[in-house]
Structure 1
């Protein structure tokens, strides 16, 4: 597989900004001479983590939290941003303690994924979290998160669950089942 040379960036301009996001336009020239303008969320250099925690009893721990994008409560795995100076593993353990009240003595990196590479550059590292221990840290959520225990033996049934629809959570679940040789 040959690696193509990326287009030349002719200009970068901020076109809109909110409290959380800056939209940037990129004027590009492709190798065939065609010029186009693309828009993306300006890179923030902050990556994220998502963990699939599994208890010694064989339960997957999920959280149900409000998602402003869908304007509803969604079921998924604990996740969050990597803070400056923090490794992905440290962030994973911190987020587990903040969101579900457990840390992990065994984090296995499953894969680093990109949500929408045409518009967003941040990466999310997916982990399998095992050998859990009880420890709670205060998080930044506006309300307590509902922790949902789901039998690992029924993990594939999550795929048809109405409020388990986030692509990153589905990816993390499938990679976990593959890693555990349950697929």
Structure 2
């Protein structure tokens, strides 16, 4: 079923919480005449990248880093924010050099992904990085990240690990694997 988008009558912005998050309140009218107020977190910055770095056709490089939200070390993909003036491809190459110590000669931006589209407008760009070469840039991590090679045909084992729980990383690996099957 195709529906007309709700009419936005007003958007009110405010800062909320200890981190001064930008919250937007939308005064909406739906096609059936119902009016509601929805709240959404407004993204800061220019979005983020989630990088699937392939050291060869069958092996992705994961990084293990401290995750404050769950207070443990987590395996995941290289990821980070897009700085002002950067494209997703440029941000992916920079983050790859900072976190994993590799640059990429071939970068494909596959798609954007949302974190929680019902209440956030934040976008992460899924980027495939191939033809890697060693190059390290200083990053903002407090310690060097461990780089862990993982075979793409063993994603079924990775997805069940306790220390691999970040949804963007999991989704990105499956999207990239399927994309590679049709576009390698």
Assess, with a 3 A threshold, how the Cα gap between structure 1 residues 28 and 71 changes in structure 2: closer, same or farther.
Answer: farther
Shift of 1:64: 1.5
Structure 1 pair 164–37 and aligned structure 2 pair: CA distance change class (3 A): same
Q: CA deviation at 1:15?
A: 4.9
Give 1:84-99 correspondences, 5 Å limit.
84-99=84-99
* Residue of structure 1 equivalent to 2:114: 114
Q: How does 1:160-175 map to 2 (within 5 A)?
A: 160-175=160-175
C-alpha distance 68-28 of structure 1, shift in aligned 2 (>3 A): farther
Q: Which residue of 2 aligns with 1:55?
A: 55
Q: 1:28 to 1:6 in 2, by over 3 A?
A: closer
1:33 is aligned to 33
In the TM superposition, residue 31 of structure 1 has moved relative to its aligned partner by 3.0
- Give the secondary structure class of the aligned counterpart of 1:160: coil
Query: Structure 1 stretches (4+) deviating beyond 6 angstroms?
Result: none
Aligned equivalents of 1:44, 1:159: Cα separation in 2 = 30
Equivalent residues in 2 for 1:11-22 (5 A)? 11-19=11-19, 21-22=21-22
Alignment partner of 1:143: what SS? coil
CA-atom RMSD in angstroms? 2.2
Could you list the runs of 5+ residues in structure 2 that have no partner in the other structure? none
Q: Assess, with a 3 A threshold, how the Cα gap between structure 1 residues 25 and 179 changes in structure 2: closer, same or farther.
A: same
> For structure 1, which segment, 89-98 or 112-121, has the greater mean C-alpha deviation from structure 2 after superposition?
112-121
Q: Distance in 1 between matches of 2:2 and 2:49?
A: 31
2:80 is aligned to 80
What does 1:133-148 align with in structure 2 at a 5 Å threshold?
A: 133-148=133-148
Secondary structure of 2:119's aligned partner: coil
The size of the alignment, in residue pairs, is: 182
Unaligned residue ranges in structure 1 (runs of 5+): none
Q: Is the 8 A contact 1:16 1:24 kept in 2?
A: no
1:72-95 CA deviation, whole Å, 9 max, x = no partner? 222110001111111111000000
Q: Provide the TM-score with structure 1 as the length reference.
A: 0.88
